[in-house]
Structure 1
Amino acid sequence: MADIVLEAKKRDAVGKNKVNKLRQQAIVPGVVYAKDKDNVNVQFTSRDFEKVLSQAGTSTIIDLNIDGEKVAVLIKDYQMHPFKSQFFHVDFQAINAKESIRVNVPVYLNGRDDIRVEPSVLVQNIDTVEVECLPMYIPQYAELEVAEMQIGDSFTVADLDIAKDNNITILLEDDEVICSLQEPQEEVIEDEEEANSDAADVPTVNETEEKENEE
């Protein structure tokens, strides 16, 4: 049983118009997908889902309590308004404890605020990694310690803490670069007055013709 529970109901409303009416009531439509089983349409309040999402993200198993029946699921995907706190739809993946599952987990760079090299820029190339494992071994995140990095240093997939866990397979090449510490690139901005001065020194077509006539 998961520690995080989302209260839900089976959803009879299907079709664009009916689903939009649910959204107007701050109710979010969703679907539970399960291997070799029929999909289950569900609904739940936007407020409840937002709270659960902030706690679980997409890499923590939750209990979806559908009319009193709890189903272990992962939040597989969700759609929301581009600039409003409004959820349009949520996909859940039902979990079988005995079957491996693929899931994306976030990559955290621990100690990034403690880097003492100045000036420097910490460039993160990969912020999530896909892993495959049994549900009981799903990590909440993958982590790297970056506080002691020096200019030119880089960390790869092989350096992630979860790479040492034999129960987890990371579905990326070991030498993929996660992050690197670089010198800041100086942007050369031409002085406006100097640019105007240089432009003034360039003869116009008429000036060139007059000079040729004088010669």
Structure 2
Amino acid sequence: MSEVLSGKIREKTGKVATKEVRRNGEIPAVLYGLKDNLSFSVCPDNLKDILTAKGQNALIDLNLEGNKKRKVILKEFQSHPLKERWVHVDFLEVDVTKTVKVSVNVHLIGKSAGEKMGGLVNQVLKSIHVECLPVDIPQSVDLDVTAVELGQVLHVSDLSLPDKVKIL
């Protein structure tokens, strides 16, 4: 099930218009993909709620005033270097019948036997690239490391993913 995010279309673009959007407490955003590119703004609290509940790869129903709902995924976001806030967000409109390529975080579950013996876990790969339908995008990939011994190495091939998700 996809989440719903509302946005306001921006007629004015550029530095001055973008600063005004931020001053009003919203995030400037761009939609690109299947149809025309659109500049709009979204409420940061609503976006944060969706990303907290469903993760960064959530399939979102974007409801722009005067337009029909569009299925989108978050493609990129820019954060302020000093303050904890977003500066700009890019959304990609997707066709739910065609596969997309996304990056999915890898989460380690449990404490390995090697760690209990004083070893350290070195997670080299924090995310993996996968290809699947937008409705099949996993929020994250969990890897159980409880049986990992000292000196043992796990590979991407050790990850278990749903059949509809292909590792790139």
TM-score calculated relative to the size of structure 1: 0.72
Structure 1 unmatched runs, 5+: 172-215
Structure 1 segment 94-113 matched on structure 2, within 5 A: 94-112=93-111
More helix by share: 1
| Amino acid paired to 1:131 | V
Structure 2 unmatched runs, 5+: none
Whose Rg is larger?
Answer: 1
- The separation in 2 between residues aligned to 1:113 and 1:63, in whole angstroms, is 40
Offset, 1:115: 6.3
- The separation in 2 between residues aligned to 1:27 and 1:73, in whole angstroms, is 19
**Distance change >3 Å, CA 48–CA 103, structure 1 → 2:** same
2:130–2:165 Cα contact (<8 Å) kept: yes
Cα-Cα RMSD: 1.8
Q: Is 2:164 aligned against 1:167?
A: yes
Alignment-derived partner of residue 65 in structure 1: 63
The percentage of counterpart residues that share the same residue type is: 32
1:57–1:75 Cα contact (<8 Å) kept: no
- The separation in 2 between residues aligned to 1:103 and 1:161, in whole angstroms, is 17
Offset, 1:42: 1.3
Q: After TM superposition, which residue ranges in structure 1, 4 or more long, deviate above 3 angstroms?
A: 112-116
- What is the number of residues matched between the two proteins? 167
More RCO (CA 8 Å, sep 6+): 2
Alignment-derived partner of residue 183 in structure 1: none
1:58–1:104 Cα contact (<8 Å) kept: no
**Distance change >3 Å, CA 144–CA 85, structure 1 → 2:** same
| Amino acid paired to 2:63 | N
1:31–1:40 Cα contact (<8 Å) kept: yes
**Distance change >3 Å, CA 76–CA 114, structure 1 → 2:** farther
